[in-house]
Amino acid sequence: MITHEDTIIQNVFKQLNGLEKIDIYDILLKIETMLRDFKSPIQYEDIKKHIENTSINNVSAVDSFGYCYLHDHCQHIKIYKIKTLLPDFFCGEHMYFITPWQLKLMNYTKENLRMTFAESHLEAIVFDFLKKHPPKSKNPVTGRLRFLELLDQIDPY
Sign of CA dihedral 8, 72, 140, 154: negative
Q: 65 vs 72, 79, 82, 108, CA distance in Å?
A: 22, 20, 10, 21
Are 151 and 122 spatial neighbours (Cβ–Cβ below 8 Å)?
Answer: yes
CA count, 13 A, side-chain hemisphere, 75: 11
Three-state DSSP at 102 gives: strand
Q: Please say if the pLDDT value at position 152 is more than 60.
A: yes
Q: Model's pTM, two decimal places?
A: 0.61
Q: pLDDT, tens digit, for every residue of 53-92?
A: 665 455 555 554 566 778 888 888 999 887 766 665 555 5
Return the pLDDT at 137: 92
Q: Which amino acid is at 26?
A: D
pLDDT tens sequence across 47-58:
888 777 665 455
Range name among 85-89, 95-99, 111-115, 134-138 with the lowest pLDDT average:
85-89
pLDDT value of position 91:
57
Q: What is the predicted pLDDT for the residue at 30? A: 80
Distance (Å, whole) CA 125 – CA 117:
9
Q: How far is CA 87 from the centre of its chain?
A: 22
The pLDDT of 94-110, averaged and rounded, is 87
- Number of DSSP helices (H) and strands (E) in the chain, helices first: 7, 5
Which pLDDT value is given to residue 153?
85
